[in-house]
Amino acid sequence: MAEETWTVKRILDWTRGYLAEKGDEHPRLSAEWLISNACGLSRIEIYTGFDRVLTPKELAAMHDGVLRRGRGEPLQYVTGEMPFRHIILRCERGVLIPRPETEILVDAALLGVDAAKAAGHSAQVLEIGCGTGCICCSIASERLGVHVTTTDVSQLAVSLAMRNRDALGLARAIDVVECDLASGVDEGLMGTFDLLVSNPPYIPSAVLSTLPYEVAGFEPGLALDGGADGLDVFRRLLKLAPQALRAGGMFVCELFETNVGTAAQLCHEQGGWARIEVRDDLTHRPRVLVAVREGNLADGGTLVETDKVIAVSQEKPSAIVVRDVAKLLLEGGVVVIPTDSVYGISCAAIPGNPGLERIFDIKGRNRAQTLPWLVADARDLNLYGRNVPAWAQALAKRYWPGALTLVVEASALVPDEYSLRRVVARGDAGDAPALATIALRCPDSRLVRDIARELGVPLATTSANTHGAASATSASDVEGRLVKMSDLTLDAGLAPIAVASTIVDCTGTEPHILREGAIATAAILRTAGF
């Protein structure tokens, strides 16, 4: 082909004829797809640009694509992408190609999301078997504010779903986990999902041999073979559903036309379902099972406002708690929070946050003072601090995450209301002009660090006690008045260290210990090289 002049029209006609001879059921459509992929043309541009001559690179791409399609390889694998609902997805061999009937599955799933939102939830979704990510990406892109946790046992599928997620800008809305069913899902999320959705392997084993070569010869058997009756994975999903869903939650599952009725019967036999129905696909064949758990969806869900104390784990924090706490803080909330050392009272370190004034009121603290910041990562030392001496960097490297607070010169990213301006002694040279400082700590608490990451800013935090009183080392030690005046208290039991952090002033030429706490002064000086 490369030795002749090939126009768009000529290559279209030739490709259509060639693929028709190879048994392609839709040769013109295939030809259009291949030209679009090779030349970067829309369907309209193909028919308005018949006289356009293909470049050698475009001809080479067409030659490769035509040969692959002629051998029966699915167009989606050849072109590397396909449209699904309102999005374009990357497709690759080894991962199941989304089908039109799965769009019906998404329609049903969105009803579950809408029901959750109507009940006042942020809508938490669990998907089993992400494949390309077509389901989770559609849900997250069509319903803002939803959060999807999706899993797949296939490493290829997980990788592809993550790339599709990231390409669509949905990284914050979708967590992708490589595991069998929900074995790798945060245990704290189980029982909190408003929706469980899945397009599992559902073709009966005996039917696989009747599938077209385009499917059986290229698509992964792992995503197709559902066992003798096609319900092997469904039975496991049915067992999982009561563990994953909250009361009133919805289970939506795509199945084979001959076994979806049996699946509905299995739901009836299991019990605990208020409503079970089967929906048809675009060809009017039974395809999608929809089952709703007994109970009221409006019960539970997000943080219960009337219950101002909730149990949490510092080392294995629930993702839903992290998200809800971050949302509360961004809205000006004040939260009593556990750390590795003692309990603190926190607000988001954002300019003009009314939560900052509330903390001073709750604590009875002098407004001339400032609040230390809890940061998400040790790298934040140089983000919010500047001119940080090398010996201070060494301290952070050694003791972060941990019970060490470093007072450093504040960078331009620290709003004025959070920094302290003070005169710093410079020895014989006299005192330097007033210096803006900030106290930073990266705590050894995954809970705190995850909240800071979710916020995108540090937590402005002081000890959870009335000014001058003893620090609280457990939630039960926090004064009732503070619990009442705060929006929420996170109870993680006894703080691991139960001793306040050591505070080191790093604005001079050598370390100055402002408070000796969990880390001894001698250890500080030794690490700093003094």
Which of residues 133 and 306 earns the better pLDDT score? 133
pLDDT at 301: 44
Residue 171 has pLDDT above 50, yes or no: yes
Q: Tokens 């096609």 sit at which residue? A: 230
Residue 134 has pLDDT above 80, yes or no: yes
Does domain 100-293 fall into CATH 3.40.980.10?
A: no
Bridge pairing between strands 335-337 and 174-178: unpaired
Residue count of the chain, please give it: 530
- What is the percent of the chain where pLDDT is above 70? 94
pTM of the model: 0.55
Tell me the C-alpha to C-alpha distance, in Å, between residue 94 and each of 154, 155, 259, 362.
9, 10, 25, 58
Residue 339 has pLDDT above 80, yes or no: yes
Which of residues 284 and 25 earns the better pLDDT score? 284
Angstrom distance (rounded) from CA 266 to CA 288:
14
Strands (E), 120-235: 124-128, 147-152, 174-178, 193-198
Concatenate the DSSP letters of all residues of 491-512 into one string.
E-SS-SS-SPPEEEE-SSSS-E
Going by C-alpha positions, the residue among 11, 48, 55 that lies closest to residue 30 is: 11
How confident is residue 133, by pLDDT bands cut at 50, 70 and 90?
very high
Does domain 309-528 fall into CATH 3.90.870.10?
A: yes
pLDDT at 14: 93
User: Which residues touch 51 (CB under 8 Å, ≥6 apart)?
Assistant: 7, 8, 9
How confident is residue 1, by pLDDT bands cut at 50, 70 and 90?
very low
Enumerate the β-bridge partners of residue 491. 311
Render pLDDT for 483-523 as a digit per residue (tens, 0 to 9).
888 989 998 888 999 899 999 999 999 999 999 999 999 99
How confident is residue 98, by pLDDT bands cut at 50, 70 and 90?
confident
Render pLDDT for 303-328 as a digit per residue (tens, 0 to 9).
333 357 887 889 888 888 899 899 99
